[in-house]
Structure 1
Amino acid sequence: MTVSNLKSITLFVADQDAALAFYAHKLGFTVRQDVSNGEHRWLEVVPQNAQTGVLLLRPFPGIQAGTARGIMLAVPDVETAATELREAGVEVSGPTQMPWGLEATFSDPDGNGFVLSAA
């Protein structure tokens, strides 16, 4: 088996419209797919020029929204990215110098946790 890339990751969110607003307006992601089938909605957003998308799905029975942690986002400059997020109204911790490099952290409205790391 040869894997060429990660196609998408799934994040469970309580409100898909609120999540879409956060990812599109605060993080600058674009919509790759937004398809409804009855009560189910397949909502996928993607960072600019990225291959890997983020599925924003309502939780399945037994799964809680906001449980993902440590999702790494590569950015050209961690300090600039952290400042831009703060200016967009996102609460950001750091940047903090770690042994492996500079990083900053934030969460989406549901509590899914992200790490900004130098590309």
Structure 2
Amino acid sequence: MKGFEIISIPVTNQQAAKEFYLKMGFKLIVEAPYEGGANWIQLGIPGSETSITLVNWFPQMPAGSVRGLVIKCDDLDKDIEEMATRGIVVKPADKTPWGRFASVVDPDGNVLSLHGR
């Protein structure tokens, strides 16, 4: 094994979720037709090997069920400020012994944590 490649994010509306993640700073890797009328939408953070795919075909993964996905930030305050200028609401950062964390909630209720040291 070498690492995580793709993480599935369960959503209801793939297009609305795609627009949210693009505003957040992700880049579109691929968008193509998939089974059952869905699309394969894969996005990534520039410079990262791990990407996400916006899924709506796993009944065991209801939209909004993601918690604990942590995104590393070199400058947490700068990233929070940049997201705010793009209309992304970021909750105030919490300070812990292992770093600072700020939460972002996507349109379906999935919670992503931004992490800075």
Q: TM-score, with normalisation over the residues of structure 1?
A: 0.88
Among 29, 32, 42, which residue is 1:32 paired with? 29
TM superposition shift of 1:59: 4.0
Contiguous gaps of at least 5 residues in structure 2? none
Provide the secondary structure at the position in 1 that maps to 2:48. Answer: coil
CA distance in 2, matches of 1:114, 1:68: 8
Contiguous gaps of at least 5 residues in structure 1? none
Match of 1:67 in 2: 65
Conservation of the 8 A alpha-carbon contact between 2:10 and 2:63: yes
CA distance in 1, matches of 2:78, 2:27: 20
Matches within 5 A, 1:26-105: 26-37=23-34, 38-105=36-103
Q: Which runs of 4+ in 1 moved over 3 A?
A: none
Among 15, 18, 21, which residue is 1:20 paired with? 18
Q: Does 93-102 or 67-76 show the bigger shift?
A: 93-102
CA distance in 2, matches of 1:110, 1:16: 10
Q: TM-score, with normalisation over the residues of structure 2?
A: 0.90
